[in-house]
Chains A and B, each alone.
Chain A
Amino acid sequence: MWQYFTLKDVRVIGHYLGVLVMFSALMYVLPLITAIVFGEWEPAARYLLAAGISLLAGQALRFARIQPARLNRQQALAVTGLAWIVLALFASIPLFMSGHYQTYLDALFDGVSGLTTTGATVITDLEHLSYADNMFRFMMHLLGGLGLIVVALSLGLLGKQNGNSLYTSEARSEHVVPNVMQTTRLISRISLIFILIITLILTFMCMIMGMKATHALLHAFWIAISGFMTGGFTPTSQSIMYYHSFPVEFVLMVVMICGAVNFALHVEIWKGHLRDFFRDLEIKTMVIWLCAMAIVIAASLSASASFSDLPGMLRRGLFMIVSAFSTTGFMNVTSNELVTVFSSGAFLSLAILMAVGGGGGSTAGGVKLQRVGIIAKSIVATIKETLAPDSARVTVTYTHIGQQQLTQSTVKEALTVFMLFVVTYAIGSLAGIAYGYEATQAIFDAVAMASNGGLATIVSPNMPGGLEIIYIFMMWAGRLEFVTLLALVVEIVVSLNPRRHRSRSSR
């Protein structure tokens, strides 16, 4: 029997959504300060208004229930699922008012892309965007990359008793430390320390290249956030190619790999457990997967005339592999080159890398290496069971934050999410094809959206509105790894169907 929302549920969900909308006003603080510091008065007025709207609307939603009850699992799913799109609706207001978007839908697309750390953009005239607007785009990446719920929990906004149900509904399950709030604080702390260190390194590099100190500092801060959060937004439309610097690209490759590694494993390194880190199923899968795909892409690129030389292949090919695998979406070639210069084999291999994605519990998207590893282990277990005598009981173990035993439920969860991703990739590809785009490009962009990869060739300000809406849903669903969103959609449909209510009450 399907569960449905009662009026009490709706009021509780409304209250907590209001809390999150109010909390999202924090995103406007740094852009507002940036605007004031650099004398950008029009953006300053805009971000003040945006912060006011969020606080007002959030507070109005909190009136839905004055004394909030403890969230149950069902309500937590709804709060998490709706938070991503509701916050994007508010975030797109200052973006649209900037005049850099042709329609509100375009601004919403970038709002969802920013929060889900997809990184694809339909902005126009990015080169003349104010510092404040740029700062806001990267604040969306920071908040979305860490996780809206993670940040809200770490600040204690959602109450101590609601932590676990909310935490697991945001596609996270591993507790680095026993307490959820402490775990979220640790994740936030690790990320901020990492971003600050990388900002300093990149600032120095940008200044050596001739950039002015302020510009260098801002660019470094933004691309450090975007890289570690595996987002993909950049302050220029040339992406990372703008810097024309191999050292910058190398640093960003390291940052992207770190961003794509499970936060729980960052803590293992922090604690000095290097052996456990390298024995982890996710790390092993990552090494094998990256080596295999690097060979395939190198072989495919060497067939094309332009990237057959070793320096070119290493610099462009390796960077694109890391960018695709971590689902960041940075580019050090133009999107035109992806279509015209890259061989179709290399092009589709990048899509496969995005489809699989990075580590579970990281900022990366896609199916996740952990699930791929578990499915591979499951295949091994099936072969072992086939070969073993009838009386034997086969058990398969793996290392992931300690020794784990492969269970039916783990395999079922991995296969379900894997299948949902594959189906979404297929639906998105067919939508792109139906809109008249080349099949390879349609597949590539569909994968980029659902995996939150962001490397895109179709996405542009002039893309059809229908396809834009499909892509928005794909980014949203991919970030929540489908289960939360599907459960929410089913519950809303059931709640809106009075026949089901009656049949349930008659029983």
Chain B
Amino acid sequence: MRRILLTIFLVVACAWSGMLLDRPGVLFAYAADEATEVKPIEERPYANANGSSVENGEGGTIESGNALSGKTQDVTKGSAEESQEAALLESEANRVNTQQLPDSSFIYDISIVDLAAADSYYDNQIVQVLGEVVGDRIFETADLTHCWITLDAPSTELDEVIAVYMTAESAQMIDTYGKYKTRGTMLQVRGVYHLACSEHQGISDVHADYVSVVQPGVTMDDTLELASFLPGIIVLACAGALVLVYRRLREKER
């Protein structure tokens, strides 16, 4: 029995080492698989704003995107025969569509500063922005189910904001609106960016599809410290004294 098991083990080991020697690329293919996570298009959370989708081939995933999504190409080859592989590569689904429009459904985590200076390239694209809610919730008088909020770029010297149009229900997640000594709720908003929104007579906005709270708001105390008023009181007292001296001198001159 031991001999039989030893023989089987040796046969399997030889076959395995022979395969490795014959096709060393397999090792690198596995390594590449671990480094690059590739999702089939059906699993992607969003299609692009125009509703178009990108076709992919079966068995292998070929992804072509714009500059932002990055050109990623991954070829996964199993241990199937070369003939099957050749057939797959020649299949209809794997042909390059020269009429395919750029897929820009992967503009993630764009900053508000970038959006504030955006050109037509970003128009009607899905974006995901992170920002602090500031100011007020403004309702449209004609439609109380939707409202406007303002998202402020977090921790930047540039004072850039973006108007976000969302449902009143989504806005209820906001616990604090940023103002003096108050940091508003940090929101992550995913939605369609419009450079000049046709629905809202041409303003730049983001129509939110998905809203999540990243960090709740914080109110800081502005405590009354009488010592901070001291310089002002001293200067005022000096000014008052000068006024009295001036009046005395003026009366003398008269």
- Chain A residues within 8 Å of B, Cβ to Cβ: 39-42, 44-46, 48-53, 55-56, 59-60, 62-63, 66-67, 102, 123-131, 208-212, 215, 236-238, 241-245, 247, 306-307, 309, 311-312, 315-316, 332-334, 336-337, 340-341, 460-462
User: B203 touching A131 by the CB < 8 A rule?
Assistant: no
User: B201 touching A52 by the CB < 8 A rule?
Assistant: no
Min distance, Cβ B179 to any Cβ of chain A, angstroms: 6
User: B243 touching A128 by the CB < 8 A rule?
Assistant: no
By beta carbon, the residue of chain A nearest B184 is: A127
Within 8 Å CB of B92, what residues of A?
A: none
Q: Among the listed B135, B157, B161, B228, which residue makes an inter-chain contact with A41, where contact means beta carbons less than 8 Å apart?
A: B228
Q: Is B41 engaged at the interface, CB distance under 8 Å to the other chain?
A: no
Min distance, Cβ A279 to any Cβ of chain B, angstroms: 36
Q: Is B15 engaged at the interface, CB distance under 8 Å to the other chain?
A: no
User: B139 touching A45 by the CB < 8 A rule?
Assistant: no
Within 8 Å CB of A48, what residues of B?
A: 229, 232-233, 236
Bound CA span A250–B157, Å: 33
User: B201 touching A209 by the CB < 8 A rule?
Assistant: no
Chain A to chain B contacts (Cβ below 8 Å), 7 pairs: A39-B222, A126-B159, A244-B148, A333-B204, A334-B204, A337-B196, A460-B158
Within 8 Å CB of A131, what residues of B?
A: 180
User: B196 touching A307 by the CB < 8 A rule?
Assistant: yes
Q: Nearest 4 pairs between A and B by C-beta?
A: A52-B235, A48-B232, A306-B196, A55-B239
Interface residues of B in 87-105 (CB under 8 A from A): none
Min distance, Cβ B155 to any Cβ of chain A, angstroms: 10
Within 8 Å CB of A40, what residues of B?
A: 180-181, 222
Q: Answer whether A127 and B179 are a contact pair too, CB < 8 Å, given A210-B136, A306-B195.
A: yes
Min distance, Cβ B232 to any Cβ of chain A, angstroms: 3
Q: Is B83 engaged at the interface, CB distance under 8 Å to the other chain?
A: no
Min distance, Cβ B217 to any Cβ of chain A, angstroms: 12
Bound CA span A247–B148, Å: 16
User: A66 touching B249 by the CB < 8 A rule?
Assistant: yes
Bound CA span A242–B223, Å: 31
Q: Among the listed B134, B136, B242, which residue makes an inter-chain contact with A59, where contact means beta carbons less than 8 Å apart?
A: B242
Min distance, Cβ B124 to any Cβ of chain A, angstroms: 12
Q: Is B191 engaged at the interface, CB distance under 8 Å to the other chain?
A: no
Bound CA span A237–B150, Å: 10
User: B246 touching A62 by the CB < 8 A rule?
Assistant: yes
User: A129 touching B157 by the CB < 8 A rule?
Assistant: no
Min distance, Cβ A217 to any Cβ of chain B, angstroms: 13
User: Quick check: which of B19-27, B51-59, B70-78, B114-122 contacts chain A, the rest being far away?
Assistant: B114-122
User: B150 touching A238 by the CB < 8 A rule?
Assistant: yes
Beyond the given A49-B235, A59-B242, A215-B136, please list 5 additional residue pairs across the A-B interface where CB-CB is below 8 A. A210-B137, A211-B138, A336-B117, A340-B119, A461-B157
User: A243 touching B138 by the CB < 8 A rule?
Assistant: yes
Q: Answer whether A45 and B195 are a contact pair too, CB < 8 Å, given A66-B246, A131-B180, A316-B201.
A: no
Bound CA span A67–B182, Å: 51
Q: Among the listed A45, A66, A208, A244, which residue makes an inter-chain contact with B163, where contact means beta carbons less than 8 Å apart?
A: A244
Q: Among the listed A63, A102, A127, which residue makes an inter-chain contact with B134, where contact means beta carbons less than 8 Å apart?
A: A127
User: B202 touching A242 by the CB < 8 A rule?
Assistant: no
Interface residues of B in 209-236 (CB under 8 A from A): 222-225, 228-229, 231-236
Bound CA span A48–B224, Å: 14
User: A59 touching B246 by the CB < 8 A rule?
Assistant: yes
Q: Among the listed B118, B140, B222, B233, which residue makes an inter-chain contact with A42, where contact means beta carbons less than 8 Å apart?
A: B222
User: A45 touching B150 by the CB < 8 A rule?
Assistant: no
Bound CA span A46–B196, Å: 41
By beta carbon, the residue of chain A nearest B234 is: A52
By beta carbon, the residue of chain A nearest B160 is: A237
Q: Is B6 engaged at the interface, CB distance under 8 Å to the other chain?
A: no
User: B138 touching A127 by the CB < 8 A rule?
Assistant: no
Bound CA span A201–B140, Å: 18
- Chain B residues within 8 Å of A, Cβ to Cβ: 116-120, 134-141, 147-148, 150, 152, 157-161, 163, 178-182, 195-196, 198, 200-204, 222-225, 228-229, 231-236, 238-240, 242-243, 246, 249-250, 253-254
Q: Among the listed A53, A128, A333, which residue makes an inter-chain contact with B179, where contact means beta carbons less than 8 Å apart?
A: A128
User: B232 touching A52 by the CB < 8 A rule?
Assistant: yes
Min distance, Cβ B230 to any Cβ of chain A, angstroms: 9
User: B120 touching A340 by the CB < 8 A rule?
Assistant: yes
Q: Answer whether A307 and B202 are a contact pair too, CB < 8 Å, given A59-B246, A238-B150.
A: yes
Q: Among the listed A44, A60, A130, A210, which residue makes an inter-chain contact with B229, where contact means beta carbons less than 8 Å apart?
A: A44
Within 8 Å CB of A63, what residues of B?
A: 242, 246
Within 8 Å CB of A102, what residues of B?
A: 157
Within 8 Å CB of B178, what residues of A?
A: 127-128
Bound CA span A212–B198, Å: 29
User: B235 touching A56 by the CB < 8 A rule?
Assistant: yes
**Which has the most chain B C-beta neighbours within 10 Å: A44, A67, A247, A306?**
A306
By beta carbon, the residue of chain A nearest B157 is: A124
User: B224 touching A41 by the CB < 8 A rule?
Assistant: yes
By beta carbon, the residue of chain B nearest A123 is: B159
Bound CA span A122–B116, Å: 16
Bound CA span A460–B224, Å: 34
User: B180 touching A59 by the CB < 8 A rule?
Assistant: no
User: A127 touching B202 by the CB < 8 A rule?
Assistant: no
Q: Among the listed A46, A128, A209, A307, which residue makes an inter-chain contact with B139, where contact means beta carbons less than 8 Å apart?
A: A209
Bound CA span A332–B163, Å: 12
Q: Among the listed B136, B200, B204, B254, which residue makes an inter-chain contact with A211, where contact means beta carbons less than 8 Å apart?
A: B136
Min distance, Cβ A342 to any Cβ of chain B, angstroms: 9
Min distance, Cβ A120 to any Cβ of chain B, angstroms: 13
Min distance, Cβ A117 to any Cβ of chain B, angstroms: 21
Bound CA span A241–B196, Å: 13
Bound CA span A460–B113, Å: 13
User: A56 touching B242 by the CB < 8 A rule?
Assistant: yes
Within 8 Å CB of A332, what residues of B?
A: 203
Within 8 Å CB of A238, what residues of B?
A: 150, 161, 163
By beta carbon, the residue of chain B nearest A126 is: B159
User: B139 touching A210 by the CB < 8 A rule?
Assistant: yes
Bound CA span A242–B177, Å: 14
Q: Answer whether A340 and B195 are a contact pair too, CB < 8 Å, given A211-B136, A237-B159.
A: yes
User: A59 touching B135 by the CB < 8 A rule?
Assistant: no
Min distance, Cβ A196 to any Cβ of chain B, angstroms: 23
Bound CA span A129–B181, Å: 9
Bound CA span A336–B121, Å: 13
Min distance, Cβ B188 to any Cβ of chain A, angstroms: 18
By beta carbon, the residue of chain A nearest B229 is: A45
Q: Answer whether A461 and B158 are a contact pair too, CB < 8 Å, given A39-B222, A51-B236, A59-B246.
A: yes
User: B232 touching A125 by the CB < 8 A rule?
Assistant: no
By beta carbon, the residue of chain A nearest B134 is: A127
Within 8 Å CB of A55, what residues of B?
A: 235-236, 239-240, 243
Within 8 Å CB of A334, what residues of B?
A: 116, 203-204
**Which has the most chain A C-beta neighbours within 10 Å: B135, B139, B178, B253?**
B135
User: B138 touching A45 by the CB < 8 A rule?
Assistant: no
Min distance, Cβ A46 to any Cβ of chain B, angstroms: 8
